[in-house]
Chains A and B, each alone.
Chain A
């Protein structure tokens, strides 16, 4: 038997029938190569775009900061932003951005997390199947609609509540509140995913010790889902800081350093939108100042991102 085997293979080779070496030989598969290339290109495009944006921002900002009329110190310490008079202090814009974002997150985080707790811990599967898509549709409403909602609905309410003299027509509070409402579905949806990912065994452990649903949700499930909740918070803040239409419409076009949320105060994004929409001459100082502002915005989101990540790694309760 063992002797006949090799001879049979040799025979096959002689008669021209396929050998193992031929059978196993690597075959060209052009479709595979093309598809792999396309998939890679899809990923590469977004990364290259990001790199391109950062490069342009850095380049234009550099040329802005090296201009004789501008000083880096003034930019980061100045409390007036009036390009017409050559005042390039970024604080009024940054302050308005942070204030509207803070108001927005104060609305969005609790509402979003409570909604998420309801969906993941209390709602029946049927209710959840109905509510979650509805919530996500809400996230698809164009922000310009939210902007007018703020200006024509929330602002009048605020003015009737706190007085016409206290609340200006354009104000950060109204813009922040509506921005918060806009972000609720995002926070709720992401937090719900995080809560639902917590193993059922942990909940059962809590229930088995006599925990109520709420005790289990808040004291066991929520801490275990912390990293997901922080991720939701990061995305939410990034949305708020970067949100443009709502603040452009409802927060006003006056750049001033104020901590009163009922006054008009232009945000970074609102300012960029207003100025770039006008007749801005290419290469002018105003033009380049927008890139410096955009870079500032980028640094803010990046900073928040890094802080949040650090917080997560520090306080995470790992369960797997």
Chain B
């Protein structure tokens, strides 16, 4: 399926070398290109193994949902895609995650640059205590944007379906907005830095149903340009919004590591999963 990238980057040292973009975009089958790919990923917190041997190829301009019971490492896996786990002092990663054939965990890779390409929206809306305008302008300036800032702010807010609600109060604090608006502001500032991939860590869990629907509709718009990976507790949400679904579960060896048990098109996962545990989970028999 997505083995073309695997074959071009057989070792970790190879994968760090610059390669033409086409190396990853030319994929053999009917599947679209792979945006980012985890290979034999193991993540440890000290001696505890949180993630066990996860390999998955995330397709470009699709929405990939990661589902599974609490504590199975969904967020840990998600945070591996933009190296947010670096901020946990005891965290250690084995295996690799490749973006355009480059291993993000290679020694030569700057995690700050990774995060500029792989943006993130968090569980609880976390706008900066700055104005709505500054929330976006700050993110853009940080990434070296020197163009027409008013225009970028407007475009980003429009893309996040927030412009009409805030255009008359751009100078107000981002914190004066409602929870759903704050989350869309956070999406707007992520869009402002033009990442390739947007990670969303339960972006609607702190929002009411109406705000949730707005975010979900927004995601459908965003996937025309961006690759989205979303962690969600809400299986209906995964079924509603995603194209592909990754099912995670704890390993059964008693070590309580999280691992990927099934990864397929969303309708397959929800209608005819291959793994019995997936079937039990999506049909609500446990979890």
- Flag whether A220 is at the interface (Cβ < 8 A): yes
**Beta-carbon contact of B129 and A209 below 8 Å:** no
Select the stretch in B62-70, B82-90, B212-220, B274-282 that faces chain A. Answer: B82-90
Q: Are B175 and A125 in contact (CB under 8 A)?
A: no
Interface residues on B, range: 20 to 34
- B112/A201 in contact, CB under 8 A: no
Interface centre among B84, B87, B122, B142 (most CB of A within 10 A): B142
Which chain A residues border B124 with CB–CB below 8 Å? Answer: 201
B163 contacts chain A at the CB level, 8 A cutoff: no
- B87 and A210: CB pair below 8 A? no
Interface size on A, residues (CB 8 A): 23
Q: How far is the CA of A199 from the CA of B126 in the complex (A)?
A: 9
Which segment of B20-28, B45-53, B150-158, B185-193 sits at the interface? B185-193
Interface pair A208/B84, CB less than 8 Å apart? yes
Choice from A207, A210, A215, A319 contacting B193 with Cβ under 8 Å:
A210
Q: Is the CB of B130 within 8 A of A205?
A: no
Known: A209-B115, A209-B139, A210-B112. A318 touches B84 (CB 8 A): no
A125-B129 in contact (CB<8A)? no
Whether, in the assembled complex, A224 has its beta carbon less than 8 Å from a beta carbon of chain B, the answer is yes
Q: How far is the CA of A294 from the CA of B219 in the complex (A)?
A: 66
| B-contact bits for A304-318, CB 8 A (1 contact / 0 none) | 000000000000011
Interface bits B113-153 vs A (CB < 8 Å: 1, else 0)? 10110011110101111100000001100110000000000
Docked Cα-Cα span, A209 to B139, in Å, equals: 6
B139: which A residues are within 8 A, CB to CB?
209
Q: Decide yes or no whether B173 CB sits under 8 A from chain A.
A: yes
* Pair B119/A209 contact, Cβ less than 8 Å: yes
A213 CA to B105 CA in the complex, in Å? Answer: 18
Residues of chain B within 8 A of A125, CB atoms compared: 89
For the complex, what is the distance from the CA of A211 to the CA of B144, rounded to whole Å?
11
Whole-angstrom distance between the Cβ of B200 and the nearest chain A Cβ: 11
Kindly list chain A residues whose C-beta atoms are within 8 Å of the C-beta of B128.
202, 205-206, 220, 224, 317
B143 contacts which of A124, A204, A210, A317 (Cβ < 8 Å)?
Answer: A210
Closest to A124 in B: B89
Contact B142 A208 (CB under 8 A): no
A207 to chain B, nearest CB (A): 6
Interface centre among A125, A207, A212 (most CB of B within 10 A): A207
> In the bound complex, do residue A209 and residue B142 qualify as a contact, i.e. CB atoms below 8 Å apart?
yes
Most buried by B among A204, A205, A317: A205
Which A residues lie within 8 Å of B127 (CB)?
205
Q: How far is it, in angstroms, between the C-alpha of A318 and the C-alpha of B174 when the chains are bound?
A: 10
- Pick the most buried of A209, A211, A215, A223: most chain B CB atoms within 10 A of its CB: A209
Say yes or no: B186 contacts A205, CB within 8 Å: yes
A209-B130 contact, Cβ under 8 Å, with A204-B122, A319-B175: no
Taking a contact as CB atoms under 8 Å apart, the answer to whether A208 and B89 are in contact is no
- Tell me the bound Cα distance from A219 to B126 in angstroms: 15
Complex Cα gap A317–B115 (Å): 25
The answer for the CA separation of A124 and B87 in the assembled complex, in Å, is 11
A220 vs B130: C-alpha distance in the bound complex, in angstroms? 9
CA distance A224 to B129 in the complex (A): 7
CB–CB A215/B122 < 8 A:
no
Q: Is the CB of A215 within 8 A of B173?
A: no
Q: Which of A208, A215, A318 has the most CB of B within 10 A?
A: A208
9 interchain residue pairs of minimum CB distance: A210-B116, A317-B129, A208-B120, A201-B126, A205-B126, A319-B129, A209-B139, A210-B115, A224-B129
A residues engaging B (CB < 8 A)? 124-125, 199, 201-212, 215, 219-220, 223-224, 317-319
A to B CB contacts below 8 Å, 13 in the list: A204-B87, A205-B186, A207-B84, A207-B87, A208-B84, A209-B189, A209-B190, A210-B113, A210-B115, A220-B128, A317-B128, A317-B130, A318-B175
Given A201-B124, A205-B127, A211-B142, 5 more contacts at CB 8 Å?
A202-B129, A203-B87, A207-B84, A210-B142, A223-B129
A-binding residues in B (CB < 8 A): 82, 84, 87, 89, 112-113, 115-116, 119-122, 124, 126-130, 138-139, 142-143, 173, 175, 186, 189-190, 193
